[in-house]
């Protein structure tokens, strides 16, 4: 029987989630769901020096925002709990001990000072086959000395003993066969002095214990793969190793290197999923969510960073992605990030979706701008009217706030040069006509407006711009009679009057 597909996202809670991290989640998730499998989130927090308060909660909030719900996690529970490595600490040591007994790992007693001294002495020092012979470890010390050091409680780490000049291979689902020579890999620490495993040991033990069948992770983890392959073959059998896919990097817009948070800050676009406030520095990094991205657009845009379905289709719902995604169509090469394209996705999704599904988000942007809104039919109607003009959800504020509050500024300069007595008369009469009007549909208002213009021997075209500016404050917005229809009689008339008073 085929094993049930089980994938995992294994973040270290060290800060905000970069868009590359969310893409890793997405590809894991799509693969799992396509195969009727499970998507697991495991928190890799064994490096307590890098632990950041709030980072784990941030990760789960991001996943919830994107609609990528884990089947198992510290938050969602599951049969393989606990899902936080720090809570699994007692599970790992036995494997490090086993490797020592089998001669595949060794104790290293070098102090931090001794290691520092070596780093100063040797350029690019690595604890490896070439250098381990000159260090203080159970390979260089005699067995009795080692026993004594252990009995005295001397701090030690356990390091993997990389075999000499061996080829380590595995088949990557994106890259095909990947080969490493063990002489190029250092003797990574497996168990630290505080008894915590390092990432390398913990990731292998947990992928085994949690019955992970496939694992997609960023390309930056490729150099660690030979250590993991060796650990798999030493501890659990290479046939049980999950199938790996190392996802291509997300590159800077110019293609020169990996996209970093700093690039986003420098070029003025988000690189994090949501706003992240660093608890230590207090610095806030802007996120896609707060910039006004719809989660549907964000997810769609991420899927396109390195993948396409080969048909030219660009807009995909999550359901369609689950159906169409294939790891075989993920490119090996890095994917350039293009913020303009990201915005294009958002604009398309704003147009494609009914505003009812995102108006609560838009209401949040109004609120942030000091405009309280009630979500009702009128609000929906207003948003529907202006959505074609919005690229980000935050754009609704500029495009539609004049419906909800009086315009803050009126572009009088756009009217006054061509203003004259005749136009003044027209608008005075328009006020009267509209006040008497019993019908208030856009078409009625337009008809009355045009008839009155004809009576005044004025071209409606010359009057529409002043009318628009009276209602919205500037040269923008949807059809002016539609605007008046929504504003209602009282507000329309009052806005005309107030601008007439300024001219």
Binding-site ranges for ligand GLU (CB under 6 A) = 10-12, 44, 199, 203, 217, 221
Contact 135, 127 (CB under 8 A): yes
Contact 247, 35 (CB under 8 A): no
- 157 or 202: CB nearest ligand GLU: 202
- 204 or 363: CB nearest ligand GLU: 204
CA distance 69 to 29: 9
Catalytically annotated residue among 192, 261, 341, 489:
261
**What Å distances lie between residue 320 and 30, 199, 358, 364, CA to CA?**
10, 35, 20, 29
**Coil vs helix vs strand at 243:** strand
Residue 221 beta carbon to ligand GLU: minimum distance, rounded to whole angstroms: 5
- 19 or 397: CB nearest ligand GLU: 19
Half-sphere exposure of 366 (CA within 13 A, CB side): 21
- 225 or 430: CB nearest ligand GLU: 225
- Residue by residue, DSSP assigns 377-430 as HHHHHHHHHHGGG-SSTTHHHHHHHHHHS--S---GGGTGGG--HHHHHHHHHH
Residue 143 beta carbon to ligand GLU: minimum distance, rounded to whole angstroms: 35
CA distance 493 to 491: 5
Nearest to 226 by CA among 275, 174, 186, 286: 186
Contact 85, 44 (CB under 8 A): yes
- 203 or 463: CB nearest ligand GLU: 203
Q: Is 332 assigned a catalytic role? A: no
* 3-state helix, strand and coil shares in percent for the chain, rounded to the nearest 5: 50, 10, 35
- 35 or 84: CB nearest ligand GLU: 84
Burial class from Cβ neighbours inside 10 Å (0-12, 13-18, 19+) for residue 67 reads: exposed
Residue 228 beta carbon to ligand GLU: minimum distance, rounded to whole angstroms: 8
Residue 59 beta carbon to ligand GLU: minimum distance, rounded to whole angstroms: 11
Structure tokens that stand for 189 in this block: 């620490």
CA distance 157 to 147: 15
7: Cβ contacts below 8 Å, ≥ 6 apart: 28, 29, 31, 32, 37, 38, 39, 40, 212, 213, 214, 215, 216
Residue 128 beta carbon to ligand GLU: minimum distance, rounded to whole angstroms: 22
CA distance 151 to 296: 59
Question: What phi and psi values does residue 192 have, to the nearest 5 degrees?
Answer: -90, 170
Residue 173 beta carbon to ligand GLU: minimum distance, rounded to whole angstroms: 14
- 330 or 383: CB nearest ligand GLU: 330
Residue 401 beta carbon to ligand GLU: minimum distance, rounded to whole angstroms: 42
- 132 or 246: CB nearest ligand GLU: 246
DSSP 214: E
CA distance 114 to 387: 64
Question: What phi and psi values does residue 193 have, to the nearest 5 degrees?
Answer: -60, -30
- 53 or 388: CB nearest ligand GLU: 53
Question: What phi and psi values does residue 105 have, to the nearest 5 degrees?
Answer: -150, 165
106: Cβ contacts below 8 Å, ≥ 6 apart: 100, 132, 137, 138, 139, 158, 159, 161, 187
Active site residues: 261
């Amino acid at each position: 029987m085929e094993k049930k597909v089980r994938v995992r996202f294994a973040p270290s809670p060290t800060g905000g989630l970069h868009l590359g991290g969310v893409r890793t989640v997405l590809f894991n998730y799509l693969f799992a769901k396509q195969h009727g499998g499970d998507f697991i989130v495991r928190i890799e927090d064994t490096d307590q020096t890098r632990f950041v308060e709030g980072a784990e909660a941030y990760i789960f909030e991001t996943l919830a925002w994107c609609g990528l719900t884990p089947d198992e996690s510290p938050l969602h529970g599951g049969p393989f709990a606990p899902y936080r490595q720090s809570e699994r600490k007692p599970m790992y040591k036995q494997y490090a001990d086993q490797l020592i007994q089998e001669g595949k790992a060794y104790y290293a007693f070098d102090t931090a000072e001794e290691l520092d001294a070596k780093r100063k002495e040797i350029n690019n020092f690595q604890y490896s086959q070439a250098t381990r012979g000159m260090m203080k470890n159970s390979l260089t010390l005699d067995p009795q000395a080692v026993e004594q050091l252990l009995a005295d409680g001397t701090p030690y780490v356990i390091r993997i003993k990389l075999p000499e000049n061996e080829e380590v291979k595995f088949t990557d689902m994106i890259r095909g066969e990947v080969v490493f020579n063990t002489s190029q890999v250092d003797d990574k620490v497996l168990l630290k002095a505080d008894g915590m495993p390092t990432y390398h040991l913990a990731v292998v033990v947990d992928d085994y214990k949690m019955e992970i069948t496939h694992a997609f992770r960023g390309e930056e983890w490729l150099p660690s793969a030979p250590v993991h392959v060796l650990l798999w073959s030493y501890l659990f059998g290479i046939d049980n190793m999950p199938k790996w896919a190392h996802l291509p990097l997300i590159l800077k817009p110019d293609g020169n290197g990996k996209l970093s948070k700093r690039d986003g800050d420098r070029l003025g676009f988000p690189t994090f999923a949501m706003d992240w406030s660093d608890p230590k520095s207090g610095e806030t990094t802007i996120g896609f969510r707060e910039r006004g991205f719809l989660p549907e657009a964000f997810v769609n845009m991420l899927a396109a960073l390195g993948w396409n379905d080969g048909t030219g289709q660009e807009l995909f719902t999550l359901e369609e992605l689950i159906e169409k995604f294939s790891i075989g169509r993920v490119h090996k090469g890095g994917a350039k990030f293009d913020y303009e394209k990201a915005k294009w996705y958002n604009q398309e999704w704003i147009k494609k979706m009914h505003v009812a599904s995102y108006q609560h988000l838009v209401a949040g942007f109004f609120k942030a701008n000091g405009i309280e809104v009630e979500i009702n039919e009128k609000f929906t109607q207003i948003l529907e009217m202006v959505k074609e003009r919005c690229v980000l959800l935050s754009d609704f504020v500029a495009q539609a706030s004049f419906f909800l509050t009086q315009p803050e500024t009126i572009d009088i300069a756009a009217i006054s040069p061509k203003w004259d007595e005749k136009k003044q008369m027209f608008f005075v009469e328009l006020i009267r006509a509209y006040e008497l009007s019993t019908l208030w549909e856009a078409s009625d208002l337009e008809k009355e407006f045009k008839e009155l213009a004809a009576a005044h021997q004025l071209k409606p075209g010359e009057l529409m711009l002043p009318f628009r500016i009276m209602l919205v404050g500037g040269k923008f917005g949807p059809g002016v009679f539609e605007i008046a229809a929504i504003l209602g009689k009282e507000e329309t008339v009052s806005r005309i009057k107030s601008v007439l008073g300024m001219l």
